[in-house]
């Protein structure tokens, strides 16, 4: 009898939490092969007990792809490593969503990465040479390179990678990144030049979305390209200054938007929900902002119409450092850090303190809702 009561109480607590915020997410770079066991321990001891039910793993080329082995990182997860991870997540009812950065983020600083490393012919801006020493701002407006979404051979590769990684992770969703795309519809691209940038962006989103839909998988993307940077004052990073934002009305409504805002708790989740999308608010490292974002999302759901409520999908902590480095910091192990990050961390401004603030606020709100 007592055990039945206990199960009933557990189920009720779970329902309360799911009603408060259906998705309690955590996003991080996939662990390196030698970090797999430690990460599973972290999942079992920290993520699952704190109610995290969705894990976005930025895998990119940290996987031993068989379709295009040349794309693999020099040290990359094997199928057996991935199976071990997936088994651990499944035991804890955590949904895993693998990510490969598509369209943008095909270079970093002075190095070409991603698809362009192996397929330079996919470069949207081959006339922009990689600098020896990268500096921002620069005359080319080079932040990251993009691939050309209209190159006739690009999707053969992209689709093979997506299928392989989703099969390996047994995932029902895939995250395509697609944030901070500065190079799109370049005037000098023989295929894209002169075309509408919003249509080009939406075309690529829908192409990937349609491919995933063939296997009943859904597409998740970052939301910044869909926000008007000029009107909102949000600028070129967390919003679009190159007119891609009108794509918000051109992409399929079943794409899930990961709406990241790191400095202020911007209310853009309302915008995406009103446009018909499920939306997650994504904090980074300012615990006060994170706490407000959890409160906002819970409040949006509380006062939403039935039509809108399910679109306020939840919250997802983003971590922008290596998996091992995050765990070191989380557990207070000393690691190499830039002076600036050290200074901020000393003030409690860090990915790990934000994560603690997020889960603390979720816990408080769910207790109050009982």
Verify binding: residue 184, Zn ion, rule CB under 5 A: no
Among 189, 205, 279, 280, binds Zn ion (CB under 5 A): 189
Min CB(60)–Zn ion separation in Å:
22
Q: In the numeric block, which tokens belong to residue 66?
A: 């068989």
Q: Is the CB of 182 or the CB of 260 nearer to Zn ion? A: 182
Verify binding: residue 148, Zn ion, rule CB under 5 A: yes
Q: In the numeric block, which tokens belong to residue 362?
A: 């979720």
Q: Is the CB of 182 or the CB of 262 nearer to Zn ion? A: 182
Distance CA 319, CA 363 (A): 20
Verify binding: residue 178, Zn ion, rule CB under 5 A: no
Q: Minimal CA–CA distance to 96: which of 49, 46, 43?
A: 43
Q: Is the CB of 98 or the CB of 185 nearer to Zn ion? A: 185
In 107-182, alpha helices (H): 115-118, 154-169
User: How many residues lie near Zn ion (CB under 5 A)?
Assistant: 6
Among 192, 208, 282, 294, binds Zn ion (CB under 5 A): 192
Verify binding: residue 212, Zn ion, rule CB under 5 A: no
Q: Is the CB of 10 or the CB of 153 nearer to Zn ion? A: 153
Q: Is the CB of 225 or the CB of 278 nearer to Zn ion? A: 225
In the chain, alpha helices (H): 2-20, 36-42, 79-91, 115-118, 154-169, 197-213, 229-232, 235-238, 268-274, 287-302, 306-309, 323-330, 339-346, 351-369
Distance CA 102, CA 181 (A): 10
Kindly state the greatest CA–CA separation across the chain: 73
Of 143-151, 170-178, 220-228, 320-328, the segment contacting Zn ion by CB under 5 A is 143-151
Distance CA 358, CA 191 (A): 44
Q: Is the CB of 139 or the CB of 194 nearer to Zn ion? A: 194
Verify binding: residue 191, Zn ion, rule CB under 5 A: yes
Footprint of Zn ion (CB under 5 A): 124, 148, 150, 189, 191-192
């Amino acid at each position: 009898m007592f055990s039945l009561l206990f199960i009933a109480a557990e189920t009720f607590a779970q329902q309360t939490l799911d009603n408060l915020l259906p998705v309690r997410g955590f996003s991080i770079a996939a662990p390196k092969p030698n970090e797999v066991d430690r990460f599973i321990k972290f999942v079992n001891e920290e993520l699952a007990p704190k109610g995290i039910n969705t894990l976005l793993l930025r895998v990119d080329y940290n996987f031993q792809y068989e379709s295009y082995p040349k794309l693999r990182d020099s040290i990359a997860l094997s199928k057996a490593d991935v199976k071990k991870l997936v088994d651990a997540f499944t035991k804890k009812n955590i949904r895993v969503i693998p990510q490969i950065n598509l369209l943008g983020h095909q270079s970093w600083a002075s190095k070409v990465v991603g698809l362009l490393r192996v397929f330079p012919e996919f470069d949207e801006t081959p006339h922009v040479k990689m600098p020896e020493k990268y500096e921002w701002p620069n005359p080319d407006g080079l932040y990251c390179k993009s691939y050309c979404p209209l190159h006739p051979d690009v999707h053969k590769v992209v689709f093979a990678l997506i299928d392989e990684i989703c099969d390996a992770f047994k995932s029902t969703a895939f995250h395509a990144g697609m944030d901070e795309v500065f190079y799109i519809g370049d005037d000098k691209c023989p295929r894209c030049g002169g075309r509408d940038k919003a249509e080009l962006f939406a075309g690529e989103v829908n192409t990937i979305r349609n491919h995933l839909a063939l296997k009943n998988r859904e597409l998740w993307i970052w939301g910044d390209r869909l926000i008007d940077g000029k009107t909102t004052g949000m600028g070129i990073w967390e919003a679009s200054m190159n007119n891609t934002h009108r794509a918000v009305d051109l992409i399929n409504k079943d794409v899930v938007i990961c709406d990241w805002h790191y400095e202020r708790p911007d209310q853009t989740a309302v915008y995406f929900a009103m446009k018909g999308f499920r939306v997650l608010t994504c904090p980074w490292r300012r615990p006060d902002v994170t706490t407000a974002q959890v409160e906002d999302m819970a409040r949006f759901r509380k006062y939403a119409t039935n039509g809108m409520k399910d679109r306020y999908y939840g919250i997802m902590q983003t971590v922008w450092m290596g998996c091992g480095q995050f765990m070191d910091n989380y557990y207070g192990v000393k690691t190499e850090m830039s002076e600036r990050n050290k200074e901020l961390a000393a003030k409690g401004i860090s990915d790990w303190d934000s994560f603690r603030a997020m889960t603390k606020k979720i816990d408080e709100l769910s207790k109050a809702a009982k």
